[in-house]
Amino acid sequence: MGGKGLRFPKPRRIILYVLLIVFVFLFLLPLWTDFTTSFKSIHDIIYTVPVELPLSPTIEPLITAFNLMERPLLNSLTFTVVAMIFSCLLGSINGYILTKIKFRGSNTVFLLFAIGVFIPYQAVLVPLVLTISQLGLYNTLGGLILTHTAYGITITTLLFRNFYGLLPDSLIMAAKVDGAGTWTIYRRIILPLSLLPFVVAAVFQFTSIWNDFLFGVTLARGSEAMPASVALANLKGTTAFNYNVQMAGALWYALPVLIIYLVLGKYLIRGYMAGAIKG
C-alpha cells in the first residue's frame, strides 16, 4: 500500500507487528469490556474479571438499558437526521456560490463561516439558551434541529467548498454561455456531481450531531426532546443501575455510529481529513 520506508529486516518486522498488536489491545480494551459487561448478569460481574466473557450470557442488561433509553434514542435519531439534511443542503449551496459564482467579499464570508467551525460553543451558550427559550423551542426537537443546523452549516460549507473547488470552472462557463442561471447550473450541473461530498458531509454531520452532549444538556434536559447522550450521562450518574446496564446503554448509544464507521468509514475519514473538528 505504497509504504515508504522502514523496510525492516525480518527480526525487526516481528517487533513491528508485536507493537501494532499491543496497540490494538490498548485501543480496544475499553470497548471490549463494554461489550463483555453488557452481556453479564450481576452474578457474572462479581465472579468474572471485566475482560472475561460472561459465564452465562444474558441480554437482560441490554433490554433494561433499551427500555430506559428508547425515547431519547428516537429523539436523537429524529433531530440528527433532520439537522443533517438541512445542514448538508445549505452547505452545498454555500460551497457552490463561494467557489463557482464568487462575488465581492466571498472570501470574507467564507472566513466568517470557517471561524464558526472552531469557536468554543461556550462562547454562545448563555444567549443561545435565551434565544431558544424565547422562540418557544426550549426542550423541543425543533430547538435542537435549529441549533445543530446553524452550527452545522459552518463545517458543511467548508466540506463542500473544498470539493467544488476541484470542479473545473469551464463546466460552469459553458452553461452560462448557454444562458443557464445560477440555480439552473446548480441543479443541472453541480448537484448531479455532488454524490460524494453529500455522503461525506452527511456521514460527518450525522456522527457529530449524534455525539453532541453540550447542546443537548443545555437545551433539552426534559424528557420531551432529551438526546441519547444526555440520557446515557444520567444513566451513568445514577447509582441505581449497575455497570452492566450502563455499559449496555453505551452500546445502544454507540450502535448507529459503529454501523456508520463499519460501512461508510472511508467517507467519515474524508470528513475528518478536511480539517474538521469535533464539537
Partner 1 sequence: MESGGDRKGISSFELSPEGLYQNSLWAGQKMRFPFRRVFTRETMVNLLFILPSVVLVGYFVYVLIGWNVVVSVSNWKGLTPSYNFVGFGQYVTLFHDPEFIKSLTNNIILILLFVPTSLGLGLLLAILLDSKVRGEGVFRSIYLLPFSLSFVITATLWAWMYNPDVGVINTLLKAIGLGFLQSGWTTDPSIALYCVILAIIWQFSGYTMLIFLAGIKSIPESQIMAAEVDGATGFNLYRRVVIPQLRTSTLSAFVVLMIFALKVFDFIYVLTGGGPAADATYVVPLKMFIETFLRTNFAYGAAIATILFLIVLAIVVPYLYFFIWGEKD
Which residues are CB-contacts of 207 (< 8 A; sequence separation ≥ 6)? 257, 260, 268
State the minimum distance, in angstroms, from the CB of residue 163 to partner 1: 14
| Window 37 to 66, contacts with partner 1 (CB under 8 A) | 37, 45-46, 49-51
| Window 214 to 253, contacts with partner 1 (CB under 8 A) | 214, 218, 229, 232-233, 236-237, 243, 246-247, 249-250, 253
SS3 assignment, position 5: coil
Rank residues 104 and 195 by Cβ distance to partner 1 and give the closer one: 104
190 is a contact residue toward partner 1 (CB under 8 A): no
31 is a contact residue toward partner 1 (CB under 8 A): yes
Rank residues 141 and 190 by Cβ distance to partner 1 and give the closer one: 190
Rank residues 45 and 81 by Cβ distance to partner 1 and give the closer one: 45
State the minimum distance, in angstroms, from the CB of residue 57 to partner 1: 18
Q: Which of 78, 121, 142, 167 binds partner 1 (CB under 8 A)?
A: 121
| Window 125 to 164, contacts with partner 1 (CB under 8 A) | 125-128, 130-131, 147, 149-151, 153-154, 157
Provide the residue count of the chain: 279
Residue type, 121: Y
Residue type, 154: T
Q: How far is CA 39 from CA 26, 27, 51, 239, 255, in A?
A: 21, 21, 12, 19, 15
| 274: Cα separation from own chain's centroid | 14
168 is a contact residue toward partner 1 (CB under 8 A): no
| Window 74 to 103, contacts with partner 1 (CB under 8 A) | 90-91, 93-94, 97-98, 101, 103
114 is a contact residue toward partner 1 (CB under 8 A): yes
Q: Which of 53, 63, 119, 263 binds partner 1 (CB under 8 A)?
A: 119
110 is a contact residue toward partner 1 (CB under 8 A): yes
List, as one string, the DSSP characters of 83-149.
HHHHHHHHHHHHHHIIIII--TTHHHHHHHHHHHHHS-THHHHHHHHHHHHHTT-TTSHHHHHHHHH
| 89: Cα separation from own chain's centroid | 17
Residue in 63, 45, 65 with CA at minimum distance from that of residue 55: 45
Q: Which of 139, 212, 220, 241 binds partner 1 (CB under 8 A)?
A: 212
Taking the C-alpha atoms of residue 256 and residue 158, their distance in angstroms, rounded to an integer, is: 25
Rank residues 136 and 265 by Cβ distance to partner 1 and give the closer one: 265
Which residues are CB-contacts of 267 (< 8 A; sequence separation ≥ 6)? 196, 199, 200, 203, 204
With CB under 8 A as the contact rule, which of the stretches 59-67, 77-85, 176-184, 194-202 interacts with partner 1?
176-184
Size of the site for partner 1 (CB under 8 A): 101
Q: How far is CA 64 from CA 60, 100, 240, 252, in A?
A: 6, 53, 12, 11
| Window 255 to 274, contacts with partner 1 (CB under 8 A) | 257, 261, 265, 268-269, 272-273
